[in-house]
Amino acid sequence: MEKFPWWNEAQKALADEVDAFSDEITPKAQELVWKREFPWEIIREVGKRGWFGAVIPEEYGGKKSEWGYTGCCIILEYLSRAGIAVACPYLLTMCGGTHQIEDFSPPEKKEEWLPRIARGELLGAVGLTEPYVGSDAASVETVARREGDEYVISGKKRFITSGLSADIYVVYARTSDDPKDIAKYRHITAFIVERGTEGFHVEKVNELIGFDNLYNAYLDLDEVRVPVENRLGEEGDGWKVMMSGLNFERTMTAASMLGLMREALRYAVFHSERRIQFGQPTINIGVNQFKIADMVWIFNTARLLTYHAAHVLDLGGTAAAEAATAKMFTTEFGMKMFLDAVQVMGGDGVTRFYPVESYIRDTKIMQIAAGTNEIMKLIIFSQGLRALRKYIPPPVRKVHPELRVPITVAFGSLRDEEKRKVEGEEDVLRALAENYKVNPGLAMTLDDMKGVLAADDETLTRMLTALEEKKLVKTFKDKKGQIRLARITLEGLKKTLTLEECKWIPSWVLEKDVF
């Protein structure tokens, strides 16, 4: 596959190596799906090749400076070609221990765990979701109480992928019920719970729509004792630990979809070039060409979005919006791509003798895992819009003196010398009246007003309050009682504008029809 120009030479070489490995292991991986056996042998080989060390610093046996987050995504893209059961144990280890240990564990624990992860000796999992807690991650009910040099954890976790195959689990538990801590998201703490710890058991293994030979489980924690040094960060840092890991997890989820996309395209093209209907290969039929064209642009766009998010992480950014965008795009449009591939393949596409139908089932899980795609949209709305705000300041609109229609004269605000001086309430009322002429259904924010008036928030608030008392203005306040929006009332308009000032009749309208 194309190697992006910002990849370093080590990352490009890594891509070739993992791609060749995926070709080699695909027969075994497909065999294990039919047998419903976890791919232990393949995962051990991934460990021997050092790929679990992609984001682990060199002093702990990793290759972070060479591969980093981009390298981690490269490994996942090419591993997932052999199936999601090969990719997920790697993904879960990266975001279910590796990242959190590196950033939040004490030095002695880094020395104990990270080299073993880098060698593939420890697999990881995330213990976040609970029977009664899903997207509302702040409401975890698993509790941890401090007893001397230990924490005692009790609760249940569910839908834990790699639930039976992991050696270390990042478990989130409530350590405070203080409303002040809850308000500041300081009521959750993260821990590493090791397999085999007394009181830590599998409760149930889930049968899912997909993930055919992956372990997904309910886990029970019954008075599980973990040493204080297994805590990630300080007590109450759990939310910070969680958020730092989720952006990485979402980027990797996107990367794991890329291999499935490539294989879906492979099978759709392979099949349609060889299937004869109506005297010709089905790839010659226009509707199939359109579907394959969609698959191509979806795949190419998905790779760009994913590796952009990984690059932002490598540069030290949080990549919140980028990761959410990549995860949502790859799973939403990945689903379209796989449905189209099945449709191109016809009846063969819905048999289990080709792997494409499994991509549909696996992707439905991926649309929910690592935060549902609805949650992704909320993140994109808040974080993505925040990042774009400086590039989309509101337009300042005025009535053109000759054309008498609204036009945009500035973005954000007028130059200081162009702003009207505020000498009294009538100046504020006039600004609201002029806004009615150009944006008749819209109120103004205080920033909008400051864009055309030489006034500060305090002055505007005082004058708007006085105008509202006179019923000339209507304001809209936030929960703290602060004015956020204001518009002129009908009484205010009558006091400020004449009908002639508001009128605009196009030239094509017959004069006899105007009343």
pLDDT in tens, 458-474: 999 999 999 999 999 99
CATH of 1-121, one of 1.10.510.10, 1.10.599.10, 1.10.540.10, 1.10.287.70: 1.10.540.10
Q: Does 123-236 match 244-390 in CATH topology?
A: no
Which DSSP string corresponds to 418-436?
GSEE--SHHHHHHHHHHHH
Average pLDDT for residues 238-267, to the nearest whole number?
A: 96
241's tokens: 């630990």
Tell the CATH topology of 244-390. Butyryl-CoA Dehydrogenase, subunit A; domain 3 (1.20.140)
* Percent with pLDDT over 90 in the chain: 99
Q: What is the CATH number of domain 123-236?
A: 2.40.110.10
Helix H segments across 123-237? 179-183
- H-helix or E-strand containing 219? strand 216-227
CA dist., res. 243 & res. 336, Å (int): 29
Tell me the mean pLDDT in the region 53-64: 98
Give, in order, the Cα–Cα distances in Å from 294 to each of 80, 324, 346, 364, 439.
21, 22, 17, 20, 40
Predicted confidence (pLDDT) per residue in 129-148, tens digit? 999 999 999 999 999 999 99
CATH entry 3.30.70.270 includes domain 395-513: no
> Taking all residues of the chain, what is their mean pLDDT, rounded to a whole number?
97
Q: How far is CA 59 from CA 120, 196, 508, in A?
A: 16, 28, 78
Q: What is the pLDDT of residues 161-213, one digit of tens each?
A: 999 999 999 999 999 999 999 999 999 999 999 999 999 999 999 999 999 99
244 pLDDT tier (thresholds 50, 70, 90): confident
Provide the 3-class DSSP secondary structure of residue 151: strand
Query: How far apart are the two ends of the chain, measured CA to CA in Å?
Result: 69
Rounded to whole angstroms, the Cα distance separating 71 from 94 reads: 12
What are the pLDDT digits (tens) for 386-412? 999 999 999 999 999 999 999 999 999
| Residue entry with tokens 């990793």 | 62
pLDDT given at position 245: 87
Please state the domain extents for the chain.
Answer: 1-121, 123-236, 244-390, 395-513
303-360: per-residue pLDDT in tens? 999 999 999 999 999 999 999 999 999 999 999 999 999 999 999 999 999 999 999 9
Helix or strand (DSSP H, E) at 74: helix 68-79
Catalytic residue positions, numbered: 249
- How many whole angstroms separate alpha carbon 74 and alpha carbon 415? 49
Q: Two tokens at 288?
A: 């199939």
What span, in angstroms and rounded, lies between the C-alpha atoms of 225 and 240? Answer: 23
Give per-residue pLDDT as tens, 488-515: 999 999 999 999 999 999 999 999 999 9
pLDDT score of 80: 98
